[in-house]
Chain A
Amino acid sequence: MESGQPPEAPTPATAPAAQKVWDVPTRLVHWTLAIGIATSWWSVENKQMDIHYWSGLTVLGLLVFRLYWGFGGPETARFSHFIKGPAAVFGYIPKLFSKNYRAAFGHNPLGALSVVALLLAIIVQVGLGLFASDTDGLFAGPLNRHIDYDIAKDVTDFHEDFFNVLFALILLHFAAIAFYIVVKRINLIGPMLTGKRRGANLTGPAKGIEPIPLWRLGIGVALAVGVVWFVAR
């Protein structure tokens, strides 16, 4: 009715600041880990055990790097930054539903639990896989020869079963991302791709994470490659 006033055009003179939340190695490891796990699942379902062998070892390398990066990486990748006690975790839930909710700088205390659970599950799954053997007796994990047949069979069964635990955690991860998009209108996938978060209600330092010297990255890569080489040799 009363036109005249154009709808408020939200064209802020100053674009919202872009805060860097995820560094390149963390993002790269995240996505390659996703691909590695998907490949491991696909290959074993399709009896491509040679692919499974190498995708599993790739996951191992990525895992080693990520664990190291939890100490040597930038703030948001560090375990000491995001692993919080029960008080912070429970305190986060009412905050999540409060009006002036602010997205966390990196992992929030609840999401951190999911990260830890996923990492632990991957450790277990990869660890079991190193000792497992396929049912034809043709392919075996690199450490399979150190255990005997009956134990290897149990380990292999557990390796197969345990995927369900990992898979459930992955589904929970997806569900949480969907929740943030749908309910909180916060896109978590974008920052994991670009490394940056835009918005007015950021927390943490305005610029985001500090750069990490290259030598620290080098140590992580060497460590990951070294562990995989040591295991597979």
Chain B
Amino acid sequence: MKMKLFATAAILALGLAACGGGEPAPAEPTPVAEAPAPAPEVAPAATTEIGAAPADIPAFMKTRHDNYEDIGKNMKVLQDNMKLDAPDMAAVTAAATKIKDYAAQMGTWFPAGTGPESGIKTEAKAEIWTDRATFDGTVVKLQEESGKLAATADAAAFKAQFPVMGGTCKGCHDKFRQEDK
């Protein structure tokens, strides 16, 4: 037990030292437009195909990473509002819409050559490429649930939907993300 604890702690420490807590870095996904996309319905871009390798793999992966960071920031806005009795619904809708917009293009963030084999530090697991159908399925789920979240009009609906959408994040992370530890 102690040894296991220790080993885990050591691994933890190593991992922590390794990365400042980045998420899987998407290659060169275009940053989401600032304005909330007007399209009310999510158009799940269920591409079961793996795109061709981008020209500049490091830049692509950096942008992907930054996009996930930005999703994290918007998640925090939602998380913060979850704790309020009267959430700021304008902020909630804006954050949820951003996440929805990112989700809409997420399927294109993992083309060939942008996984661990790139040699670039990434939390994206090789399974994203070997089990693409499942991965795309989780992306579609996020698209659907983030769409619902962006459409919530009142605090109660927001508080009910946030954990559901978050569950889709976690569901994918558990399978396809190598935590940086």
Contacts and interface: CB of A to CB of B under 8 A. Distances in A.
A133 B80 CA distance: 11
A186 to B, nearest CB: 21
B121 interface: no
A189 B163 CA distance: 44
Interface string A106-140: 00000000000000000000000000010111101
B72 A161 contact: no
Interface in A119-169: 133, 135-138, 140, 142, 144-145, 148-149, 152-153, 156-157, 160-161, 163-164, 167
A88 to B, nearest CB: 31
A149 B170 CA distance: 19
Interface residues of A, number: 25
Contact of B75 (A45, A137, A156): A137
Contacts, number: 69
A47 interface: yes
Given A41-B5, A161-B16, A138 B169 contact: yes
Given A135-B23, A157-B16, A160-B16, A140 B166 contact: no
Interface string B148-170: 00000000000000010011011
Contacts of A163: 9, 12
A133 B76 contact: yes
Interface string B4-44: 01101110110011001101000000000000000000000
A161 B79 contact: no
B8 to A, nearest CB: 6
Contacts of A144: 76, 79-80
A148 B80 CA distance: 10
Nearest to A152: B76
Interface residues of B, number: 31
Tell me what chain A mostly uses at the interface: helix, strand, loop, or mixed: helix
Instruction: Indicate the member of A138, A140, A152, A164 with the most B CB atoms within 10 Å.
Output: A138
Contact of B83 (A145, A156, A161, A167): A145
A149 B5 contact: no
Contacts of A171: 2, 6
A137 B72 contact: yes
B174 interface: yes
A160 B13 CA distance: 8
Interface of A: 41, 45, 47, 133, 135-138, 140, 142, 144-145, 148-149, 152-153, 156-157, 160-161, 163-164, 167, 171, 174
13 contacts: A135-B21, A135-B173, A136-B166, A138-B167, A138-B170, A144-B76, A145-B79, A145-B80, A153-B72, A160-B16, A161-B16, A164-B10, A171-B6
Of all A-B residue pairs in the complex, the 8 with the closest CB atoms, nearest first, are: A137-B75, A145-B80, A138-B166, A149-B73, A136-B170, A149-B76, A167-B9, A164-B13
